[in-house]
Amino acid sequence: MQNDEPAEHGSLVIAALLILAIAFAGSWILAYVRPGTNPWSIVPWFGIAAAIIVLLGIVTDVLPRRRRKGR
């Protein structure tokens, strides 16, 4: 059974996570080299952002499928 919908949602989620990973790496480096800064303090913020991106990706993938099945 072929899916008529393009697979762009997965690509957008991966792109968003890659951009988040690059931002995290840059923030980690800046926090690590700055005296008196704890680089571990940024981990929860980026973890929450990653979880939100993944959850939004799942929701945007599941909801249209449920609506199509209901028709």
The domain spans of the chain are 12-63
Residue 68 pLDDT > 80, yes or no? no
Contact 39, 28 (CB under 8 A): yes
Separation CA 17–CA 53 (nearest Å): 7
What is the per-residue pLDDT across 10-47, written as a single tens digit (0 to 9) for each? Answer: 788 999 999 999 999 999 999 999 999 999 999 999 99
Look-up: residue for tokens 């997965």? 10
pLDDT the model gives residue 1 = 45
Contact 32, 39 (CB under 8 A): yes
Contact 13, 54 (CB under 8 A): yes
Q: What is the pTM of this model?
A: 0.76
Q: Give first-to-last CA distance, the chain, whole Å.
A: 18
